[in-house]
Amino acid sequence: MTPSKNSQQHGNEIKTLMILGASGDLTARLLLPGLASLISQGGAKGLELVGAGYDEWSQDKWREQVKKSFDDSSGGDGAAIGKRAQHALDAMAKNSSYHQVDVTAEGALSDVLKSVKHPVAVYFALPPSITEKACDLLNADDLPEHTRFVMEKPFGSGQESARKLNKTLETLLPENHIYRVDHFRGTGTVLNILGLRFANHFLEPVWNMRHIEKVEIFFDENITLEGRAGFYDSTGALRDMMQSHLLQIMAFIAMDEPATLDERDVRDRIAEVMRAAEVGSDYSKTTRRARYTAGQIGDRKVPNYVDEPGVDGKNNTETLAEIEVDIKNSRWTGVPFILRSGKSLGKDKMEVIVTFKPIPHLPTGFTGTPTATRIRMGVGPAKLQLDIDVNGPGDVYSLDRAELKAELNDSNLLPYGEVLKAVLTDNAMFFVRGDTAVECWRIIEPVVKAWADNDVPLEEYPAGSNGPEDWETTREETPL
């Protein structure tokens, strides 16, 4: 069924941001600071903030939480962001309102939606199961004109639930006003990758299986659970990061050139990559998982994961995941895309490493050992490094490693500030399309099952280390 009231939404300015799950950790730790960074840069003018949650919060408690999160995002120093920005933040916090609501109760969410200024962007900062129930209870007539939905990852809990949720949403809103969040691939990250790929003539002829040996995508973090055991212990690194963030980055690295940067052109190319991608079925060779034990990160002592508050050791939850994805098309067949993400590691490492194949022959007379040419692209911070062999100082016949570095465009916004900016400016390109969300689950679900069946051993690594010593991706490297 095609929605009628919401079919012509483009260009309508959002008046209200409503956060469902307003009393939760995601809102306080990420969403509100992200909104503060956007306001501090002059964005979100005239926007009203409304919180809605299951908890029985007073208006004062909600406003205090908003102000605290806003202050934390700027270090509590109004001078650092300017008087005008501080005034805008204070005004939003003071004028914000909170609604206690059970979104799984018939008519409850509809009533709140109708009580706020329209158009409204509704941010579902809720677990997938609650989001699905809330959407099931809505119909197109419940939504004010030009409503936009922002769906926090993970989108659904598997391939079937994602497909079902897509069908529900189709009856409510057009696809380009359903924003499935993947904050890792913010505006800057996406455009940096596309600029490198398609604005440099020398790269495209070698960006394929004839010249590239492997592509590695890292998202290693030195943070631990940060009080989120309730979410993380039932999700793990595979579903938390691979299913959305890292597969999306992989698609931007692997995609063919889009005709334009229009959201349809770009997202069509992403979908093509996802449909061709799969993890090899011998999961003991194509996937790895591990869990951290007690250790130290800087001056922080970290307990064994199973001893963390809220963790159930019987879940066998992985805190470090690695998968090898094959993209079965003429450009990439035979090139492994190795995706890795984990927590409680020794250092943050958020980058893409493209390793080229060895040269077929080095002219006799050169000394030194030739090493593979590599492109390293940081996604946090945004940097580029080209590792090549050149004639070193001293002996002109000796080859030495050189690192050519460049700074890339980096956003002044926090990751969720970029998310909210894209929603408010109606830019769907930076979000996951419905069909792609289902394909991501198709790629990941067989691995989820294999791990649940213990077909792949759960290894261990000390907190503060780089991971299990025998993993090739654990190698020591200077961060970008």
Longest dimension (CA), the chain: 80
How far is Cα 335 from Cα 338, in angstroms, rounded to an integer? 9
Cβ–Cβ < 8 Å for 140, 171:
yes
Q: Does the annotation count 245 as an active-site position? A: yes
Cβ–Cβ < 8 Å for 254, 274:
no
How far is Cα 237 from Cα 220, in angstroms, rounded to an integer? 10
Q: What Å distances lie between residue 257 and 63, 269, 332, CA to CA?
A: 46, 8, 14
Please tell me which residue in 146, 177, 183, 245 is annotated as part of the active site.
245
Q: How many CB atoms lie within 10 A of CB 377?
A: 22
Q: How many CB atoms lie within 10 A of CB 82?
A: 13
Q: Which amino acid is at 283?
A: Y
Q: Is the peptide bond before 154 cis (omega within 30 degrees of 0)?
A: yes
How far is Cα 256 from Cα 278, in angstroms, rounded to an integer? 18
How far is Cα 479 from Cα 378, in angstroms, rounded to an integer? 9
Q: Phi-psi region for residue 75, left (φ > 0), alpha (ψ -120 to 50) or beta? A: left
Q: Which amino acid is at 76?
A: G
Q: What Å distances lie between residue 383 and 12, 59, 248, CA to CA?
A: 36, 43, 19
From first CA to last CA, the distance across the chain in angstroms is 49
Position of tokens 């294999």? 450
Cβ–Cβ < 8 Å for 338, 322:
yes
Catalogue the active-site residues. 245
